[in-house]
Amino acid sequence: MKPDFICIGAQKAGTSWLHFQLERHPDFSMPPVKELHYFDRDERYPTPNHLAVTRRRDRMRDRARRRKMVGDIWRPARSLKLAKARWWARYHLHDFTDDWYVSLFKNQKGITGDVTPSYSLLDEADIARMQRVAPEARLILMIRNPIDRAWSMLRFHEQFGRPLDLGDLEAFKRRIEAPEQVRRSDYPGTIERVLRHYSPEQLLIGFFDAIERDPAGLLSAVCRYLGAEVPRAGTASLRRKVNESKRADPCPEHFRAYLVEKYAGMIEDLADRYGGYAEAWRRELRGEPRAYGTPVPVVFPGA
């Protein structure tokens, strides 16, 4: 049953890198849209909800939507990329239903899936719905030191008109305590909700740190998990940074101190559960060098 896999997050934790690698792997055939946002399309989620208008006839009343539809279908058709044009026609010209979502993957040749980091925000009901629609899908959750992830996310948002005043600690706290930010960094909560509906063998947890330290090991582990051939080592693109924040300056100490206080308990919990890279986060939290040793790039929550 399609999709074969769903990458459920987390934002700013390496999902764009993973999508880039799988898109170029000969065993995979990914949809033209990286983030489908089907299961989080309800307007109660603070994520893109362009699929919230379910009925096609209601969408077609919107001139901007009609213009986008024509462009999405015409551009590949003009270049004789007919399979892609047909995919876009299916995307735009049907009601958004569970059957429609599954149909987006049916004609993809090879292993295929949905990479939508915002699925880490899903509540119990929508994870249950995901399981009903894709009961055999293998899930991937990429995680990153929550301190680094939060800072990277805020810096990334600056590119979209949400500047950060480095002198205003209270404004920084409000951004960090926003429900969207709190939920995106709650890895244990996401894992717990997912495992109520999927078996532990259907959830792989990958570490962002491995993209820098062991990208071949990370990609190989993901490929084995999804039943794909392990790629040859030494590919230059493995270390390519994808969708990187343009602002990469370090987190100011007064901001970092707040993040340490907020996420120390979670880091301790993750280090106890999974060791490896999470243990390195704990060492850094205690003021020790971030010594990795040779941690595995992925873990299974039930192991």
Q: Which two tokens stand for residue 146?
A: 């929550």
Tell whether the torsion through CA atoms of 279, 193, 147 and 115 is positive or negative. positive
Q: Within a domain: residue 214?
A: yes
Dist. CA 130–CA 119, nearest whole Å:
10
Q: Within a domain: residue 230?
A: yes
Q: Which two tokens stand for residue 268?
A: 């301790």
Q: Give me the pLDDT at residue 235, please.
A: 61
**What would the pLDDT profile of 16-70 be if each residue is shown by its tens digit?**
999 999 999 999 999 999 999 999 999 889 888 889 999 999 999 999 999 999 9
Q: Which run of H or E residues covers position 170?
A: helix 169-176
CB 204 within 8 A of CB 141: yes
**What would the pLDDT profile of 189-223 be if each residue is shown by its tens digit?**
999 999 999 999 999 999 999 998 999 999 999 99
Q: Within a domain: residue 286?
A: yes
Q: Within a domain: residue 71?
A: no
Q: Which two tokens stand for residue 96?
A: 């958004």
Q: Among 53, 58, 35, 57, which residue's Cα sits nearest to residue 43? A: 53
Kindly state the DSSP code that residue 159 receives in the 8-state scheme: G
Q: Within a domain: residue 136?
A: yes
Domain containing 141 equals 5-54+96-299
Number of domains in the chain: 1
Q: Within a domain: residue 86?
A: no
- How many helices and strands in the chain, by DSSP H and E? 14, 5
Q: For the whole model, what pTM was predicted?
A: 0.94
Dist. CA 20–CA 116, nearest whole Å:
13
Q: Within a domain: residue 62?
A: no
Residue 30 belongs to domain with CATH number: 3.40.50.300
